[in-house]
Amino acid sequence: MTLYSALLEPFVDYGFMRRALVATLALSLGSAPIGVLLMLRRMSLVGDAMAHAVLPGAAIGFLIAGGLSLPMMGLGGLVAGLSVALLSGLVSRTTALSEDASFASFYLSSLALGVLIVSLRGSNVDLLHVLFGTILAIDAESLCLVGGIASLTLLTLAVVYRPLVAECFDPGFLRAVGGRGPVYHLLFMFLVVINLVAGFQALGTLMAVGMMTLPAVVARLWAQTLPAMFAVAVAVGAVSGLVGLIVSFHLGVASGPTIILTASVIYAASLLAGPSSALRRLVRRPHLSA
């Protein structure tokens, strides 16, 4: 096998591979910076809960469309995700429950309800597509949706970058200067939900958060400043998508899980070799010795 046939031929000869590659690049541009902010806010598990929370809406979109219509399922997932985010925030502010506890409760209920809806009206194959995605089946309409979400995310981050960062690192200061911290928090949760909807289009509800979390934690091991973390996270997401698609094409395995496993391999290597890795901390010598 030549280098051309191994790396380039799948994308040159097959349109579905090109569309899948463009989708993963768009996901990397939109989801990776959001994942970095989620990690710095210590909300990575909240992102995972939100990924499961979109399932009932996606299932209802599946029923309305009478099949796997990604735009309809994405719209349903957006409504469901925003509803869970708003309800969880309301519960955490009106009861003794913390926000992560309310998210956990809602996402478990949402996941069970979504699986039940799809299993009642669809086949096991449909359920697998909803849970694990159909990145190789993305059409032009779905690709435009994913690209539009990535563009909207980058534009919004550019406009509200400073207050989002301030609300991330020091929300008390933002409240003290009248910075409308809750408004920016809701805006950030909206960005999380729409990027999970974009990830759902390609990777399914169970792994949509993977393109957020794994590149973000890799970036934390290699970079110290926020812009550098953004850049590293986007690069890791793009490389994971490219390598995952090539490996899945040649081995004949599912593309979505392969992409996430590729990011996991990069994460494992970063744990061993990164500047902030555990191995380097163990072998680092003290500056002063007796």
131 located within any domain: yes
Whether residue 32 contacts residue 211, with contact meaning beta carbons closer than 8 Å, is answered with yes
Phi first, then psi, for residue 167 (nearest 5°) are -70, -25
Query: What pLDDT, in 10s, does the model give residues 183-208?
Result: 888 888 889 888 988 887 778 777 88
- Residue-range definition of the domain harbouring residue 141: 3-283
Q: Report how many domains make up the chain.
A: 1
Q: 98 by DSSP, 3-state: which? A: coil
Tell me, rounded to whole angstroms, the distance of Cα 6 from its chain centroid. 28
CB atoms within 10 A of CB 12: 10
Residue 289 lies in a domain: no
Contact 55, 130 (CB under 8 A): yes
In-domain check, residue 154: yes
- HSE toward the beta carbon, residue 223, CA cutoff 13 A: 19
**Which residues lie below 8 Å from residue 277, measured CB to CB, with a gap of 6+?**
221, 270, 271
CATH code at 143?
1.10.3470.10
Question: What is the rounded average pLDDT of the residues 139-163?
Answer: 90
Mean pLDDT confidence for 256-274: 90
Whether the predicted pLDDT of 63 surpasses 80? no
Please report whether residue 113 resides in a domain. yes
pLDDT tens digits along 101-110 = 777 777 778 7
Asked whether residue 46 is assigned to any structural domain, the reply reads yes
Q: Is the pTM of this model over 0.95?
A: no
Task: Single out the residue of 158, 278, 134, 283 nearest to residue 220, CA to CA.
Answer: 278
Identify which of 39-53, 117-131, 173-187 has the greatest average pLDDT.
39-53
Q: Which of 147-161, 163-177, 245-259 has the lowest mean pLDDT?
A: 163-177
With respect to residue 157, please indicate whether it lies within any of the assigned structural domains. yes
Selected residue with higher pLDDT from 2 and 126: 2
What span, in angstroms and rounded, lies between the C-alpha atoms of 176 and 172? 6
